[in-house]
Structure 1
Amino acid sequence: MKPTFKTIALTTITLGAAAILSACDQANTCKYDEAANTLSCSEKTYKTANLGGKVWMAENIAAYIPDSSVCYGNEHVNCENMGRLYTWSASMTGLCPKGWTLPSQEDFRKAFGGATSATLKESASFNMQFAGFRYFDGKFADKGASASFWTSDSYDDSRAYLVRATDSTITYEHFNKNIAASVRCVKE
């Protein structure tokens, strides 16, 4: 029996979709080296640290996601130095590599212990970057003045919790899910 054009087209589309999904799956696969405390991903190799009973990325993630990630001030050098800024939705939908996840508020509390934000900023283990954030209207704020990290905890349909650190405080506040903030991932 000869294959029809419809059968050939359907087979081609199915194989193409499988190849695309496989490529996406491989793109988000990183290699964790426990001995070297590193996580090697396609965009860069991240330092890792054991904090609060979990393995954390010790750098802000820097993976490019079209329409959902930005460099502070739209300047690429800021992405190289401090990682990218992401919306909450982007941080929740596959940003973290396979086997890693967006931390909860409780994960941050355990990782920070009783440390002050000044101590965390100086600590090589967490390597806190005061990367600022981008408001939902596109304006940037707080570079050098604060660090803002998305958590996996949603507050309601339009807001989620951020961990915000300045030189003197660490707070857990809910913000609009469309602002762009830093992301750290923890090993599952």
Structure 2
Amino acid sequence: MNKLSVMVLLASMLTVFANADSQKDVEIAKEVGRAFGEYVVLQEAMLDAENRIGTVKEILFTMPSSENFEFGESKSPMGIYAIAKKTIGKCPKGGKWLITSHEKNGNLKFECQIDAKCESLTPNIKSLCEDEHNLFEEHNLVEEGIMKDSRDGKVYKTVKFQNVGQTWMAENLNYKIEGSRCLLDKKANCKKYGRLYTWNAAMKACPTGWRVPDSRDWIGLFIEAGWDGEKEGPKQEILEIGKKLKSKNGWRNNGNGTDDLKFTAQPGGLAIISKNMFLEDAAAFWSSFESSRGDVLIYWVTFVQDDVLPAYGKKDDFLSVRCVKDE
């Protein structure tokens, strides 16, 4: 989407908003449209200048101050959100909009998630978006299954999420390959928890037709577990979602989870090479997303908290792998 088409779309937003039922709705709609439209234009400028998307600070976006909405930044993935501070027409107090940006093959793409009761206030915002789905509808349409790895005959439990048409392994990968090892280098732990992999090994380890999930896949999983796209801790933790992904037993000090999605994250640990140590009582998973610095986005949970912690790991560390397949 080029700058001209963005500006035309922004103008059309304001035209549609002008037909709202009341002047009050018109002004509220203009606040959302202007904020999201400015965000789109600034991300487009960042992509043109540096061939990448940026944070709110990097693109010089000023968060609006409003009596009607709370505006804020979503950092994982990058985007902004608006939350209604009061009831506006059919949109209730707490009604939410979220727009996130993604660079894809040199083009800027957007994804929108909008409370269904608020969609009528901003009908053209979705025109910006690559994918349209309602973040706040009921999820958890989970279909359990199995997958046999033809390379070594191992069988894995799987879970398919009907809302996104994606199947995840419900166990850690346990395919022996150069660049993999067992927790504490004990074979029994490979059988119990699966193998740990360096990032380069992980990127080659999934069976044919399967792959290491990227950041959008992980965010989609968190949304399936009930994350609203905004609830983050001071270190960008995905609040309260770790408990829903952790297994119902096996975690120290009663740090077990509810396993709502049958994902069954177990404390398979990790190996930190720079410190020459294993870390137990945690589950740490690779993504395929590599930063410009050369480190890799990872997600992990521990027995001491109910959240998912995003972090950046070194490629030579050893983490667990969950493979994903697109239907």
Change (3 A) 1:76 1:165: same
Within the candidate set 303, 307, 321, 1:169 is matched to 307
TM superposition shift of 1:131: 1.1
Matches within 5 A, 1:119-158: 119-121=244-246, 122-123=258-259, 125-137=262-274, 138-141=276-279, 143-144=280-281, 146-156=282-292, 158=294
Larger relative contact order (CA 8 Å, sep ≥ 6):
1
Residue 106 of structure 1 pairs with residue 242 of structure 2: no
CA separation in 2, counterparts of 1:154 and 1:177? 9
Within the candidate set 186, 189, 197, 1:86 is matched to 197
CA separation in 2, counterparts of 1:110 and 1:165? 17
TM superposition shift of 1:177: 0.6
**Aligned residue pair count:** 150
Determine helix, strand or coil for the equivalent of 2:292: coil
Determine helix, strand or coil for the equivalent of 1:149: strand
Letter in 2 for 1:161: L
TM superposition shift of 1:156: 3.4
Determine helix, strand or coil for the equivalent of 2:216: helix
TM-score by length of 2: 0.43
TM superposition shift of 1:135: 0.9
Residue 63 of structure 1 pairs with residue 200 of structure 2: no
2:174·2:190 contact (CA, 8 Å) conserved in 1? Answer: yes
CA separation in 1, counterparts of 2:222 and 2:153? 27
CA separation in 1, counterparts of 2:186 and 2:294? 28
Aligned to 1:7: none
Structure 1 range deviating more: 175-184 or 151-160: 151-160
Letter in 2 for 1:168: D
CA separation in 2, counterparts of 1:159 and 1:101? 19
TM superposition shift of 1:36: 7.0
Structure 1: gaps of 5 or more residues? 1-34
Structure 2: gaps of 5 or more residues? 1-142, 228-239, 247-257
Matches within 5 A, 1:44-59: 44-51=154-161, 53=164, 54-59=166-171
Change (3 A) 1:43 1:155: farther
Structure 1 range deviating more: 127-136 or 178-187: 127-136
TM superposition shift of 1:118: 1.3
Change (3 A) 1:76 1:49: same
Matches within 5 A, 1:3-22: none
2:144·2:160 contact (CA, 8 Å) conserved in 1? Answer: no
Aligned to 1:15: none
1:105·1:163 contact (CA, 8 Å) conserved in 2? Answer: no
TM superposition shift of 1:85: 0.3
Letter in 2 for 1:49: V
Provide Cα deviations, 1:38-93, integer angstroms capped at 9, x if missing partner. 11012510000013621000000000013x0010000111100100000000111x
Residue 37 of structure 1 pairs with residue 148 of structure 2: no
2:181·2:195 contact (CA, 8 Å) conserved in 1? Answer: yes
1:43·1:63 contact (CA, 8 Å) conserved in 2? Answer: no
CA separation in 2, counterparts of 1:84 and 1:116? 24
CA separation in 2, counterparts of 1:60 and 1:75? 16
Q: Percent identity?
A: 31
Aligned to 2:105: none
Letter in 2 for 1:57: M
Letter in 2 for 1:132: G
